[in-house]
Chain A
Amino acid sequence: MKVTLAGDTVRRKDARSKVSGSALYTDDHRVPGMLTAKIVTSTCAHGLIRRIETSRAAAVEGVRAILTGADAAMLCGPLLADRPALARGKVRYFGEPVALVVAESDAAAAQAALLVEVEYEPLGFVLTPSEALRPGAPLVHETLGAYKKMVDEIYPEPGSNVCDRIRLVKGDAQKELLNCHTVIDAYYTHPPTDHVAMETRAAQASIDADGVITITTSTQAPHEVQKEIASLFGVDMGKVHVTAPYVGGAFGGKAGVDLEILAVLASRAVGGRPVRIANMREEDIASSPCGAGAEVYVRLGADGSGKFRALEMRVLLDTGAYADMGPRIARAILADCTGPYNIEHVFCECVTVYTNHTYATSLRGFGHVTSTFCIERTVDKMAASLRRDPAALRAMNLVRPGDVAPTNFTITESMLGNPGACLEAVKKLIKWDDGCVRQEGKLVYAKGLAVFWKTSSSPPDAGSSAVVIFNDDGSVTLQVGCVEIGPAMRTTAAQICAAALGMDVQNVHVSMPVSTAAAPRHWKTVASMTTFLLGRAILSAVADAKEQLGRLAALSMRCAPEDLEVHGGRVFRKSDPAQFVEIKSICRGFKFQNGNTVGGRVIGRGSVTMQNLTTLDRFTGHGRAGPYWTVGAQAVEVLYDTSDHSFRILKAATVLDAGKVMNPEAAHAVVRGGMGMGLSQATREGMEFDPSGRPLDTSLRTYKVMHFSQTPEYLTQFVETPNAEGPFGARGIAEHGALGMGAALANALSKAAGVQLDELPVTPEKIWLKRSEKPL
């Protein structure tokens, strides 16, 4: 039997289904009698709902129900329950769902939705954190003090637009900055962005006569949906079944509970009949959650030799109209605020601020694209001020094992990996030593660097579990709760299981779709933690299975179980491999010669949680946010045209410390995907609003993402410093390609154009404006 190893390239288990178009996604499922629900959305950025008239809509043939906020009393939210499923009393963003039409057909629902009349009394609105923090600014949540906290560690400030405020204090940054040789002050901004997953959000729900709620949804977190729906609708979790089929991209935007609530409300209103709801692209962009924008102040001080001595950082995170995951994104920024540098004195304050546009949720990078951009631009400014090579300045300041993390605990090599090796390797990939700026006539070639780190920032009790079941033919069915959202985690799960069992990955079958009724919980398929957390759970389940196999085989081979080894579909005697039994002959028990059978089917189970994590202290930020970091270095080479300020991205490079590369081709692919996303966000993406607060770019006509033909040459490489607690030494790598792309690009273009590009996205017009501002 062929044995799959960690480090083998394994073709994706879903490759053929997806490439042939036969893979089924949520909205592909139809059942007889299924109704369609359609949202009616606010045309006012912030206003009181004076009147909702539904009679004309109700008269459309085929309409079965129309719901408004009065029909949905609950407030939702993973951290702070501040969000109504349908607006009640007021609307807080243009695009907020105010009514839900349920009809026999898509056409009837669409026709009726246009006929719902809503009258608003507009209120003043705010679109950026700094606007929202001005004295006298309109309040997005007047009732902020009354909301239920779903977690203890959230600190809203009633009477303001501050949803949460946390600080990190290490040493005395303010004092140290006064003594620094060079201090760089900078201000950075980037707008909210959209996830732009290929598959827009969709959900389906039905309720049977026994009150069992069945949901199919495009989600990263079926168990979270199960828990939240059970809580909101007052039923046992066992009475909520959630299934996640293939998900056509998510990037964090499908890790919350959103359309599912509407689907269940709709089904409940029509006696439990199955109801589907699916976003048009415009709804996905304007009504469903977005990626958070930010305004950041940075002050970095260094001594004469270039050693970073102190950092002050103030982050205003734009969480939109509702909190959702905003405060946790702010916390994640706080925990890793310094970037992978050793800075002894740090003060960081992260304020999560409400504004009147769609609410922010997790987005690839979870705040680290923001923080990496701000720190890495600042480091380049510092290098310019000190007249040091940007690579050398970074190298001398990189954090090392033995240093103290920003949240005040000692870092080990296993936790960190090797940022220095990543930096050295990326310099070679981009040919940094050949020069980072070169002019040829009106064209300028320039290179920019960035280094990053990221830890997971999960709740301290985030966990995962796995069940390994042997089938009669010796193949394995693996029941796990992670969802396939693109990075091939189903394949990785199978590979880890196969490698641990010494089997061929072709004989390990990961059950699809993922159903809460059968799959034990995986926290959520987020945070680049699936390989780590789920991998550990699988290894634990495999160990359990091996122990059971050993006991059964020992009966057959009349020896102690410790003398046996499992590999290649067999259980064999360590001292004499010629003595073995095939797994398939014992995997449902051991049968004696006369037919007597003992034991039972081998079912391996494993459960793990994050270890040694804590919440962060509200005032000092001290604590432990994640089990390890993934570090890396990135570089971008651009070709800039001085005559019209246009630019092409020629090359983009990433070297990251993967601990152990599980599946090489998949690893390169997921990093490149992240790089593409990061470059797209940095050059094209950002939500814009008209003077009435209406989003202007709600379709792909105007919300541009980088097209395939515009992608640069990708150069990706891995360093492997084992993570002692990761499966086979692995660290998570799924998000990281995106983290430093904007920073590296802005560093390259700032150099090329001779201006400071501190605002994303970077466009030729912004470069032109900056150049026009420069004194001659």
Chain B
Amino acid sequence: MIPFEFEYFRPETAEDAVRLYHELAQSGLEPVYYGGGSELLTMARAGNRRFGAVIDVKAIPECAAVEEEGDKVYFGSAATLGAIERSGLFPLLGRTGARIADHTMQLRITLGGNIAGTIRYREAVLPLIIADASMEVYTPDGAQSVSIHQVFSGRLDLPPGALLVGCRVAKEYARARHGHVKKTKSEKIDYPVATVCALDADGYLRFAVSGVHENPFRDLTLEEIFNDTRTVPRLRADKIVEMVRPGAVSDVLGSAEYRLFTFKRALMEIFAMEREGAMV
């Protein structure tokens, strides 16, 4: 039982949604955008989150869409992880999403919810970062398209009331050879101790990481080390681990030292995939 009263709105356009948000915020009602609700509802029920109104974005066509657009693929922010995987349009994103939750929850958790939520892992963002996704955002000034790198560095940083409408990725990246490794504490479906997504961009491997630090990251310096063919993979991995060490998290899922150990294993597994042609 959610222990407070709140209003529910279901706009049919992004413009209406954003306008509604600002109106509600101005009247002091504390609005939130609402996709699958797995985070909002459970936290509200447990008394950890409060809001005055939810703006359900699932009826906005651009938010729900999953489609090809010429040489790009598009995923609406209200598209579920399950729908994204089923579409087959961006296999790395599908695979990454598939390991985030059980099937039942995959039919509910949305791309936008996973990226914009407070739970720190945000694994669905990893493939988008390394694919140079462009983010479709709607603000009171209208629709805008920005590079993910401008609005995401660990967390999604948009002005209050801006709505993430969807993400667009070039097909050459959506179809690129890729690898995904996720290490958990024990149970297969769980928050990550370390998740690494990698993508082959014209022979250069890009990678992004979740779970090891407080927030997900992609670091170009680390990528250079990752691709430095003058050094053996093991030494490249060691160097990357040392550079990542300062921000490593210790919590119930694992100690910082263990995280770094699994992170190194994940990197070695990506190298092995590369070597053995297992990245498809």
Contacts and interface: CB of A to CB of B under 8 A. Distances in A.
A643 B46 contact: no
Nearest to A282: B46
Nearest to B181: A644
A764 B265 CA distance: 13
A644 B262 contact: yes
Nearest to A683: B186
12 contacts: A110-B1, A110-B3, A643-B265, A644-B261, A684-B186, A684-B187, A697-B252, A704-B185, A704-B186, A707-B188, A710-B187, A761-B186
Contact of A704 (B3, B46, B190): B190
Contacts of A696: 252
B47 A114 contact: yes
Interface string B177-199: 00000010111111100000000
A717 interface: no
B255 interface: yes
B4 A765 contact: no
Contacts of B190: 704
Contact of A707 (B45, B189, B254): B189
Closest 5 CB pairs of A and B: A110-B3, A106-B1, A704-B187, A644-B265, A765-B258
B102 interface: yes
B1 A107 contact: yes
Nearest to B3: A110
Nearest to A278: B1
Contacts of A764: 185-186
Contacts of A769: 258
B220 interface: no
Contacts of B255: 765
B2 interface: yes
A114 B189 contact: no
B134 to A, nearest CB: 32
Contacts of B186: 683-684, 704, 761, 763-764
B176 to A, nearest CB: 26
Q: How large is the interface on B (under 10, 10 to 19, 20 to 34, 35 or more residues)?
A: 20 to 34
Nearest to B103: A709
A100 to B, nearest CB: 15
Given A106-B1, A761-B186, 4 more contacts: A644-B261, A683-B186, A707-B188, A765-B258
A403 interface: no
Interface of A: 106-107, 109-111, 113-114, 280, 282, 643-644, 646, 683-684, 688, 696-697, 699, 701-702, 704, 706-707, 709-710, 761, 763-765, 768-769
Contact of A114 (B3, B261, B268): B3
Contact of B2 (A110, A697, A704, A763): A110
B187 A706 contact: yes
Contact of A765 (B5, B254, B268): B254
Contacts of B258: 765, 768-769
Dominant secondary structure at the B interface: loop
A680 B183 CA distance: 18
A111 B3 contact: yes
A643 B47 CA distance: 42
A769 B257 CA distance: 10
A706 B188 CA distance: 9
Interface in B1-40: 1-5
B215 to A, nearest CB: 19
B252 A688 contact: yes
Contacts of B189: 707
B1 A699 contact: no
Interface string B250-280: 0010110010011001001000000000000
A107 B3 CA distance: 5
A280 B183 CA distance: 30
A753 B273 CA distance: 25
B102 to A, nearest CB: 7
Nearest to A112: B3
A696 B191 CA distance: 15
A696 B185 CA distance: 15
Contacts of A282: 46
Of A282, A683, A761, A765, most buried by chain B (CB within 10 Å of CB) is A765
A111 B265 CA distance: 47
A763 B185 contact: yes
B36 to A, nearest CB: 15
A699 B261 CA distance: 28
Given A644-B265, A684-B186, A699-B46, A111 B4 contact: yes
A280 B45 contact: yes
A765 to B, nearest CB: 5
Contacts of B102: 707
A107 B5 CA distance: 9
A709 B2 CA distance: 32
A765 B265 contact: no
B188 A710 contact: yes
Contacts of A768: 258, 261
Nearest to A680: B187
A761 B185 CA distance: 11
A707 B252 contact: no
Contacts of B183: 644, 646
A644 B181 CA distance: 12
A761 B1 CA distance: 33
Of B46, B47, B185, most buried by chain A (CB within 10 Å of CB) is B185
A30 to B, nearest CB: 14
A376 to B, nearest CB: 21
Contacts of A113: 3
